[in-house]
Every structure is written in structure tokens, then in C-alpha cells.
Amino acid sequence: MKLARFLDRQGNEAVGHVVDDQLYPLDTSDPQFRRLWDILDAADPVAVAQQLAGNQDGIPIGQTSLLAPIDDQEVWAAGVTYKRSQTARMEESETSADCYDRVYQSARPELFFKATNNRVSGPGQPVRIRADSKWDVPEPELALVLNSRLDLVGFTIGNDVSSRDIEGENPLYLPQAKLYNQCCGLGPYVVLAAFMPAPETIDISLTIERNGSVAFEGTTSISQMARSFDDLLGWLGRENSFPQGAFLLTGTGIVPDSDFTLQDGDLVQISIAGIGTLSNPVVRG
């Protein structure tokens, strides 16, 4: 079951479930289940979503304004969870290459705070590259959707936009390379966990279009991850609580070559099997 946030015909935020190319609004008149988050944090999100489905007519997806599937959750991210990411991070920073090599092999993963909801871009909304950076890339990632008890209740697509030159200059600059306005894309839907394919069968693809042509494309698979979802969630929850839930981006296995950088006007499209495609135009500064 795919759940989405969108603007209804009156311009109000609403929640719906998606079947094929149709969006069916949910009945959210019950104050207990007004937001997507309320459904995700329920004891049984599937049962609640089915209960709220009602008999409303579907709306073609192309006629809706989809929003990022986030309410008040925090967005966190894991790094260096794929061999390709380890190699790229070592290449971008000669002075700190050893730390990326060690974290790839260590028991404790790299986890960092990525975004608040106001810094997240939804489907079709721009993601931003910093005005003070010269080497920027998207990082296509499977995002875990967590309730307030840190149960894995769903999945969505994440784009961890990153300034590689800023982080490469000094690893202590990572928050500036990762966390800023419009630094993260999420969407287009949350797929409830019971409806996702087995993790080892999930493929991820990235296409970057520039001036109507493909400037970069790549693919990877969750089977290439060096860490399990349970391992990442276990570390995220150590000495930490998330009363409003969280999204956890699980790292990227697709990294463009070092001579590639995003440009203003590019279109980033990330597709993940079982979820769909997240498309975001790129703006600078």
C-alpha cells in the first residue's frame, strides 16, 4: 500500500493511497488520524489506512500536487554503507581517507542528522546545491520510515544532496556539506513495510538529465549494502529517542565520477523498485 501527502482541490493538505496511477483520498475527519504521520505511528498502519479508505473517487496522479511524505519527523542518514561510497569518500579527501576506510569496516556506522521537514523537497520541488560549493552530487538512497517506537513501518526514496568539495576539504565540514535549505528530497510515496519486496531484490537507479540529454545514469542494489537495516536502526536508537518518528537514509551505492558535478537546471530522477520515481529539478544558491 502506497500512502501520499497532497494538496486537495481546496489547497488543503490531505492524505491518500495510490493504486496504479490513481490517488484515492483517505477520510481524515477523525482528529486521531488527520496526518500521514498519525497513520504511520498507529499500532497497525495497514489496518488504519484500509479503514480510512472509504469510497472516494480516484484522482489521476498527474492532476495532483504531491507533497513530501513528511510531517514533523527528523531526517537522518547513514554514510559509507556501500563499497562504492567508501571509495568515493576516500578519493574526495586525501587527508581523511583513512577515516572513511575504517568506518566502512567498523562495528559503529556513520550516522548524521540530515534535515528538518522545512529543508525537505517533495516530488517535483527543487533540490538545492550550495552557492559556495563547486562539486555537488545527488545521493540516491532507500529511506526507512520509522514510527515513534523506531519500528520500521515503511519505505520511501531519499536524495541526500551533498557538496563533495566542502566535505573533502575537512570532514568536520560534513554538516555544512549535507545540511542546508532544500538539501534533501523525499517521496513520492511511503510504501508500508508489508508491501515492499524483499530487501535483497530492491534495485535503485539514478538518471540526471541536462538540457534534454542524459548527463549521468547508474544503478545499484540493496544487496550491495554492507550493513543491514536492523544494524542501522539499532545504532540510531542508542541513547536517542524520536517521539515524532524519523526517516533514515541508508547510504548510496551510486556515485558519479569525480569530474561530474550537478548544475543549475539539471533534473534528478531516482527510481526504486516497489516505490516509484522521485524527480527533482536542481537550483543553485
**Which residues is 131 bridged to in the sheet?**
none
Which CATH number do you get for residue 278?
Answer: 3.90.850.10
The whole-number average pLDDT for the span 15-26 is 96
Residues 131, 34: one domain? no
Burial 203-239 (b: 16+ CB within 10 A, else e): ebbbbbbeeeeeebebebbbeebbbebebbbebbeee
Task: Please check whether residue 221 is in contact with residue 252, taking contact to mean a CB–CB distance below 8 angstroms.
Answer: no
Count structural domains, the chain: 2
Residues 52, 130: one domain? no
Range of the domain at 185: 74-284
Residues 205, 253: one domain? yes
pLDDT in tens, 153-189: 999 999 999 999 999 898 899 999 999 999 999 999 9
Residues 130, 223: one domain? yes
Residues 86, 223: one domain? yes
Distance from C-alpha of 225 to C-alpha of 217, rounded to nearest angstrom = 19
Residues 214, 274: one domain? yes
Task: Please check whether residue 5 is in contact with residue 69, taking contact to mean a CB–CB distance below 8 angstroms.
Answer: yes
Q: Taking 60 as the threshold, does the pLDDT of residue 61 lie above it? A: yes
Task: Please give the mean pLDDT across all residues of the chain.
Answer: 94
In this structure, what DSSP letter does residue 91 have? Answer: H
Residues 62, 89: one domain? no
Distance from C-alpha of 24 to C-alpha of 122, rounded to nearest angstrom = 19
Q: Which of 144, 164, 101 is nearest to 251 (CA)?
A: 144
Task: Name the domain boundary from 67, 84, 111.
Answer: 67
Task: Name the domain boundary from 19, 49, 67.
Answer: 67
Residues 20, 144: one domain? no
Residues 115, 242: one domain? yes
Q: Taking 80 as the threshold, does the pLDDT of residue 283 lie above it? A: yes
Give the model's pLDDT for residue 201: 95
Q: What is the pTM of this model?
A: 0.94
Helices 97-105 + 83-92 axis angle, to 10: 160
Give the model's pLDDT for residue 1: 97
Higher pLDDT, 258 or 266: 266
Give the model's pLDDT for residue 86: 55
Quick one: what percent of the chain has pLDDT higher than 90? 87
Residues 85, 130: one domain? yes
Give the model's pLDDT for residue 214: 99
Distance from C-alpha of 57 to C-alpha of 241, rounded to nearest angstrom = 39
Residues 267, 252: one domain? yes
Residues 154, 219: one domain? yes
